[in-house]
Structure 1
Amino acid sequence: MPTMIRNAMSEREVRYKLGAVQFVSAETFGRPGRRTFRLVAEAGRAQSFIWLEKEQLLQLGLFLQQAVRQLGDSAQSRPSAPGEDSWIGDPLEQDFQARQMQLQYDQDANCFVIHAFEGEEDDPNAGAQTSVSFWMTMTQSSELADAALRICASGRPPCFLCGRPIDPEGHQCDRASSHAIFETG
């Protein structure tokens, strides 16, 4: 059985197993303070648009970056062989908000696997909701981590006192006197 790095979430059934992706990327739309975030995964004739909260994208980027570093140069120089071929079924397109995600590392394949679920695990309709999984090579995983972290860092700067984002129109900090307003720029 392959060694897996995974979170504490129990194993869930995935509706669409896309297999090995040819393309995976993180994207953002909108201006700081109003941005939306998503992953785009393309595998064979399937394409998934997985909308995320900024915190989800940040955590995914941080975890992938840390895992790739911990696995070291030997894993990065070893070839990746995804455990599933790319999607060969009918053309497929999903576009959904991920409520839960799971990330695994398959040591034998030297690949990461992302599972994204539209519903919560305890949702009675979870089986009818969209869920996808896809395999990423070590190189794709490292590039996705870099893109996710770059996107998250390009947003509003955090207030040095309270840590909350500073809006372009200004920020009234709870920790500063009630008359202090900080601005970006």
Structure 2
Amino acid sequence: MSVFYEFDDVDSFTTGTVGEPGNRTFYMQVRADGQRVSVKCEKQQTAAIVDYLRKVLSDLPPPEDRPMPGALELAPPIDASFVLGPIGLGYDRSSDKVLIQLEEVGEVNEEGEFLDDDRGHVRLFVSRGQAAAFCDHADRVVESGRPDCQWCSHPIDPDGHACPRMN
């Protein structure tokens, strides 16, 4: 049976990693109503959410408040409810909140339709301040990994890098 969470008021929405650069696992975590939900994700998914949120926020007035930086740290235990697949993002003008929908990855058929309708789902609304703080924090988390090679843009491992452009 899959998990389904829906939160209108979120205490914290954040991202973080477990492990060393080159071997990190990314998570997104929501804390609300005394519950904590963690979702395993990819670095690229985190960066894509940041890109979209920044576009939405650029069309809105600047946020008046932001959560304290300590509220953006992953809180243990970090047990993933599911692995992130499709992401939905939007803005609700009536509540002045950003909608974030995280769905579990699933198998698709040849037409691109999901084979299983009983996938995990987290739907949450965050304030503009929470969204802006998430973006700034996520940038730091993503950038704290391995540096990219200046010639091929692939990550450089701590024990060396075989750059395809540098024979």
CA shift for structure 1 position 147: 1.0
Question: Residues 85-134 of structure 1, C-alpha deviation per residue, up to 9 Å, x if partnerless?
Answer: xxxxxxxx971111111111112211111111113472221x22211101
1:117 and 2:103 aligned = yes
Q: TM-score, normalised by structure 2?
A: 0.80
Map of 2:75 onto structure 1: none
Map of 1:129 onto structure 2: 119
| Counterpart Cα distance in 1 of 2:30 and 2:42 | 17
Whose Rg is larger?
Answer: 1
Map of 1:146 onto structure 2: 136
- 3-state SS of 2:55 partner: helix
Write the letter of the residue equivalent to 1:65: R
Q: TM-score, normalised by structure 1?
A: 0.73
1:25 and 2:11 aligned = no
Unpaired runs of at least 5, structure 2: 66-78
| Counterpart Cα distance in 2 of 1:54 and 1:33 | 11
Confirm or deny: 8 A CA contact 1:26 1:39 kept in the other structure: yes
Unpaired runs of at least 5, structure 1: 1-13, 79-92, 178-185
Percent of pairs identical after alignment?
28
Confirm or deny: 8 A CA contact 2:28 2:40 kept in the other structure: yes
Number of aligned positions between the proteins: 147
Map of 2:146 onto structure 1: 156
Provide the aligned C-alpha RMSD in A: 2.0
